[in-house]
Structure 1
Amino acid sequence: MPNSWGKFRKVRGMSGATASFDPRPRLLKVIRSHFAPFRFAAQKLADMASSTPRAAENWLSGQCAPGVPQLIELMASCDEIEREVMQLVEERRKAREEECPGSKSGSDASSG
């Protein structure tokens, strides 16, 4: 059964920007753009993600997104996917700073 991130619900105390954040469309777009041109794209994607061809077909069709272990495998295999994920992380950090000026990221706050 393919892994899905489920629906994101608004959480009390979170701003609209944070509560509605959904990285799946951008992640799936970069996965499709990288793998769709290949013959046997689902098999190649599955191999790189250490997953099944059926799960890879679901990612390519946009039905669901890879789980964390598969995403890490893809990031390790494909610079384009790694860059997109890191860009998403950086955008989230900036959004959090705008929501709560003066706050530190989790790694900075825990090092003190």
Structure 2
Amino acid sequence: MSAVAISSARDRLLDAIKREFMPLRFASEMLARASEKTPRAAQNWLAGKNAPDAEALINLMAACNSIADEVNALVAERKAARERQACPGSD
């Protein structure tokens, strides 16, 4: 997987989080509650400094359908890309 694809996935995830939570008055607090993390961690996600860890991401997916949809779309895109490629061990 290329670095461009990885950063793109990270950017798309952070964009989905921002779309869902930035309009809220207490965005970082609401995001922290949904992810079961600290408000400071949530502030870093909203600022694009860091991305959620796996546990926080699963909690966000369980709490927010839009974030779950974005992650599932990323997975579907990766699966489709791999289906077009031959498995390296199949030669």
**How does the TM-score come out when normalised to structure 1?**
0.72
Q: 1:12 aligns to what? A: none
Note if 1:44 corresponds to 2:30.
yes
Note if 1:19 corresponds to 2:2.
yes
* RMSD between superposed Cα atoms in Å: 1.4
- Report 1:1-112 matches (<5 A): 18-20=1-3, 21-22=5-6, 23-100=9-86
User: What is the identity, as a one-letter code, of the residue corresponding to 1:44?
Assistant: M
Deviating 4+ runs (over 4 angstroms): none
User: Structure 2: where are the runs of 5+ without partners?
Assistant: none
CA distance in 2, matches of 1:76, 1:69: 11
CA distance in 2, matches of 1:89, 1:82: 11
User: What is the identity, as a one-letter code, of the residue corresponding to 1:48?
Assistant: A
CA distance in 2, matches of 1:100, 1:81: 31
Shift of 1:99: 2.0
CA distance in 1, matches of 2:49, 2:2: 21
> Identity, % of aligned pairs?
46
CA distance in 2, matches of 1:63, 1:94: 29
CA distance in 2, matches of 1:87, 1:24: 13
Shift of 1:27: 0.2
**How does the TM-score come out when normalised to structure 2?**
0.88
Q: Judging by fraction of residues, say which structure has more helix.
A: 2
